Structure 1
Amino acid sequence: MATRIRSRPPKRQWSTLLTAERPRPEGIRSRPNGWWLAVGTVCFGAFMGQLDASIVTLTYGSLRAEFHASLAAVEWVSLAYLLALVALLVPAGRLADAHGRKLLYLYGFAVFTLASAACGFAPSLWALVGFRVVQAAGAAMMQANSVALVTTSAPRERMRSALGVQAAAQALGLALGPTVGGALVSALGWRWVFWVNVPVGLVALVGGHYLLPRTRARATVVRFDWMGLVLLVVAATSALLGVSAASGLAVPGWGAALLFVVAACVGSGLMWWQQRAAAPLLDLALLRVRAVAFGLVGALSGYLVLFGPLVLVPVVLASQGSSDLTAGLVLTALPTGFALAATGGDRLLPHDLPDRSRCVSGAGVFMSAVAALLFVPPTIAWLVPVLFLTGLGLGTFTPANNAMIMGAIPAPSSGTGGGLVNMTRGLGTALGVALVTLALHQVGGGAQTGVRWAGGVLVAASAVAVASAWLSPSGNPGRRR
């Protein structure tokens, strides 16, 4: 009697487990509104990214006292994070297009969570700065994929609504940052500002493993453009350091000028190299698409206007004798208006209103609001409605602008496009903080004078956003996609 031998299925290799994307359970994949679960998971990363951006500044005083460091040295806790994030967003998007957006997103959250724990245990200031660079690498892997995961998960007709929810999650993180940071530093110490990311990261990792969809369309990358990465890092670092130096960083004047020269030369070299590299880091073909090019200019200007008041308002209110808590409460008017417009704008505005019209109208609203800073007194009674209207305009503009950009980008390159969007946001954030600080630093006058100069910077950025939206192609590429 022959013995029947059962064949066992081959065991999955560890390399496969670490590099393969797990499919969603059938019950989630087949649900009519199951895509909202994926959007909600991405919102964890969007929320934590903005919360971390606005919460760390609350630790400066404690860091200076514990490590006996100057303010210029402590600022590198934020500066190192921002520089690494801007430099790595596009490379992370390219890797995600080739190897899977869900995979890179989950790895990014794991790196971000582990680095957050390490930041809390940092024994010195420069160790903290180093851990922040690692944390930014994880954040880049998340943020480069966030827009792509939302646009590939949501149905075409609901893409703008999904992007609005993601933008609202970012606004909520931005709004809660000062309050949460102040409470944690006062009650538990500065280390808990970083440790608070750990439980949220663990929940997001489990949720993303089961709720995020696998990557359907992947781009083929023959080789990685390491030369392009080095040039991008040097150009971005030099430019942001130059702006920071002009804003009051302890760098001599000739050093700031040299940084700008280096940034211009290396940036030109980057463009030259990208036209000749076999597998370029930046897809210049995307930048030749009119909707993408003008949309990225609008995104940079919009985030400049969004983050500029975070520097302006506390300085102005402090000069009037107001507390940090008062300044934080006043600032919540801006992200509150942003969140309301981003989540409810689709229901209040006509459904068939093109994205280009939404961008123009939203940019017009926040340009009018920041222009009011040039004429009204900088009191709480005036600042709250001005900030709220600015948020409403930005909340209308940002989701529609993102939809226009992503709608004009082919699906296999959506990760690269998302990286470009988030890199532009990072540059806009840095310029918003630096240029408003530069205006206040150069004026050196009273609150009213400082508000007018900083308001002029915000008005100019708003005008650029209006122009970029007006010059974008007519129609609604977000819906056509």
Structure 2
Amino acid sequence: MLTAERPRPEGIRSRPNAWWLAVGTVCFGAFMGQLDASIVTLTYGSLRTGFHTSLAAVEWVSLAYLLTLVALLVPAGRLADAHGRKLLYLYGFAVFTLASAACGLAPSLLVLVAFRVVQAAGAAMMQANSVALVTTSAPRERMRSALGVQAAAQALGLALGPTAGGALVSTLGWRWVFWVNVPVGVVALVGGHYLLPRTRARTKVARFDWAGLGLLAVATTSVLMGVSAVSGLAVSGWGAALLFVVAAGACWGFVRRQRQAEAPLLDLALLRVRTVAFGLVGALSAYLVLFGPLVLVPVVLTARGSSDLTAGVVLTALPAGFALAATGGDRLLPRGLPDRRRCLAGAGLFTLAVAALLVVPLTVAWLVPVLALTGLGLGMFTPSNNAMIMGAIPARSSGTGGGLVNMTRGLGTALGVALVTLALHLVGGGGVQAGARSAAAVLGAASAMAVASAGLSPSREAGAPKETL
């Protein structure tokens, strides 16, 4: 049946390493999600030429995707908790794959943006379930290692995006940036059917909270558009202010709706757990620091006369360090070190690295080690942070929790790009160097928030009994 989760074959389910096979399958989605996020920006020039349009219009290829993704992550997690995480994950990959093929065939920019919205809906169904599938598949004592592998797959996708995008656009054309998702999607669908476990614990949902979904979508969309507006888009000051007012009103309405709804979209009790609340603040801050340099470094280096290829190679140091620490963190730090202290160590390292951007010359020779150390710190912080959050959430709500984590990552990604752009824009009159120092100060403030969130989190670890909600 198309509405029921199929069990894994007995020969796979009984294997001692069956959980690693499930984690590896989820990594397909983690890899493709970050590859798609970083590869699409390489198509802007070709899209402007091919469709004879402006850069502001072309930016909606990314903006429409991001806004849809952030708005749908929590609802997708809620549906997965009720109907099955494997089921929603596989349907999400199918939608993502078909929409990718359609994006490559788009005859106009408007049609491309529309299919990007559909693609983001599929990505939300995948990403909302990725963390939940990892944490429910892996043994509790290996959860941090499994989350580290998933984080490394994301970092690998992020690292390969600029290089792969540039190669595809310059040789085969921009349409192949989307078509490259199709073969990977087919392999992931077949692998997921046989290797992913069925959902054991579910949360029944009497009715879906469509009003809550609408308010959440308006709130997140207005915030991101407002930040983008003050970052240099052709929007009046009154227009930007109105967007923030709408965002505040929608956020207030969403919270009130969740308190009164019979079947709320988001169980607000999850946010009253200190481990979850502080952990989400830390996750947002970390992804802001991870994605902010993607805007900052190319601007700085190209202003100094370096090529785009040089900027891309330099940027690779950041996700490379992230992947190294995320997969080998247990070797870098004592194996018995609690997750909270791992978070503090990682956050402290990338805070020191980001602080260096305020004083060292912003040259290739300095940026490579600084970005590598930033990546190492983020790679130590992120798996432990995610393990603490998911360890404090009941199994029946792991899909919702995974959606919260990924929505927070999406907001951190958007804010990293938008706030760095804003800093560069506001100090534009002082030159690139002054703007870069201002952007580094923004990243430093986000790093300090990550340190504070880890320090204020309770000392209870993911392996301890979960708090009663």
Report TM bin, short chain.
over 0.9
Q: Is the 8 A contact 1:243 1:435 kept in 2?
A: yes
The alignment status of 1:176 with 2:160, answered yes or no, reads yes
CA distance in structure 1 between the aligned counterparts of 2:145 and 2:444, rounded to whole angstroms: 28
Specify which of 45, 50, 65 is matched with residue 49 of structure 2: 65
Counterpart for residue 438 of structure 2: 453
SS in 2 for 1:275: helix
CA distance in structure 2 between the aligned counterparts of 1:72 and 1:442, rounded to whole angstroms: 19
CA distance in structure 2 between the aligned counterparts of 1:427 and 1:329, rounded to whole angstroms: 26
The alignment status of 1:464 with 2:443, answered yes or no, reads no
CA distance in structure 2 between the aligned counterparts of 1:350 and 1:375, rounded to whole angstroms: 32
CA distance in structure 2 between the aligned counterparts of 1:451 and 1:360, rounded to whole angstroms: 26
Displacement after TM superposition at 1:480 (Å): 4.6
Q: Is the 8 A contact 1:86 1:236 kept in 2?
A: yes
Counterpart for residue 40 of structure 2: 56
Displacement after TM superposition at 1:479 (Å): 5.3
The alignment status of 1:327 with 2:324, answered yes or no, reads no
Q: Over alpha carbons, which structure has the higher Rg?
A: 1
1:55-94 map, 5 Å: 55-94=39-78
The alignment status of 1:220 with 2:207, answered yes or no, reads no
Displacement after TM superposition at 1:351 (Å): 1.5
The alignment status of 1:271 with 2:251, answered yes or no, reads no
Q: Is the 8 A contact 2:325 2:332 kept in 1?
A: no
Counterpart for residue 11 of structure 1: none
1:368-379 map, 5 Å: 368-379=352-363
Displacement after TM superposition at 1:450 (Å): 1.8
Counterpart for residue 302 of structure 1: 286
Displacement after TM superposition at 1:451 (Å): 1.7
1:8-407 map, 5 Å: 17-407=1-391
Q: Is the 8 A contact 1:41 1:211 kept in 2?
A: yes
CA distance in structure 2 between the aligned counterparts of 1:257 and 1:460, rounded to whole angstroms: 24
Letter in 2 for 1:399: P
Q: Is the 8 A contact 1:377 1:448 kept in 2?
A: no
Letter in 2 for 1:320: R
Letter in 2 for 1:453: S
For each residue in 1:176-196, what CA deviation from the matched residue of structure 2 results, as whole angstroms up to 9, or x when unmatched? Answer: 000000000000000000000
Provide structure 2 residue ranges, at least 5 long, that are not aligned to the other structure.
Answer: none
Letter in 2 for 1:449: A
CA distance in structure 2 between the aligned counterparts of 1:81 and 1:240, rounded to whole angstroms: 12
CA distance in structure 2 between the aligned counterparts of 1:477 and 1:56, rounded to whole angstroms: 36
Displacement after TM superposition at 1:477 (Å): 2.5
Is 28-37 or 45-54 further displaced after alignment? 28-37
For each residue in 1:323-344, what CA deviation from the matched residue of structure 2 results, as whole angstroms up to 9, or x when unmatched? Answer: 1100000000000000000000
Specify which of 390, 393, 406 is matched with residue 422 of structure 1: 406
Q: Is the 8 A contact 2:426 2:435 kept in 1?
A: no
CA distance in structure 2 between the aligned counterparts of 1:284 and 1:109, rounded to whole angstroms: 29
Is 27-36 or 179-188 further displaced after alignment? 27-36
Letter in 2 for 1:189: G
CA distance in structure 2 between the aligned counterparts of 1:310 and 1:31, rounded to whole angstroms: 41
Specify which of 434, 454, 460 is matched with residue 475 of structure 1: 460
Counterpart for residue 3 of structure 1: none
TM-score, structure 1 as length reference:
0.96
Letter in 1 for 2:243: L
Letter in 2 for 1:349: L
Displacement after TM superposition at 1:282 (Å): 1.1
Letter in 2 for 1:463: A
CA distance in structure 2 between the aligned counterparts of 1:237 and 1:86, rounded to whole angstroms: 8
CA distance in structure 1 between the aligned counterparts of 2:372 and 2:87, rounded to whole angstroms: 38
CA distance in structure 1 between the aligned counterparts of 2:465 and 2:39, rounded to whole angstroms: 39
Displacement after TM superposition at 1:438 (Å): 0.2
Provide structure 1 residue ranges, at least 5 long, that are not aligned to the other structure.
Answer: 1-16
SS in 2 for 1:217: coil
Displacement after TM superposition at 1:439 (Å): 0.3
For each residue in 1:156-203, what CA deviation from the matched residue of structure 2 results, as whole angstroms up to 9, or x when unmatched? Answer: 100000000000000000000000000000000000000000000000
- Alpha-carbon distance change, 479 to 161 in structure 1, aligned in 2, over 3 angstroms: farther
Displacement after TM superposition at 1:48 (Å): 0.0
Displacement after TM superposition at 1:390 (Å): 0.2
SS in 2 for 1:403: helix
TM-score, structure 2 as length reference:
0.98
Letter in 1 for 2:120: A
SS in 1 for 2:111: helix
SS in 2 for 1:22: coil
Letter in 1 for 2:405: V
Displacement after TM superposition at 1:249 (Å): 1.3
Letter in 1 for 2:128: A
Q: How many residues align?
A: 465
The alignment status of 1:433 with 2:392, answered yes or no, reads no
For each residue in 1:293-317, what CA deviation from the matched residue of structure 2 results, as whole angstroms up to 9, or x when unmatched? Answer: 0000000000000000000000000
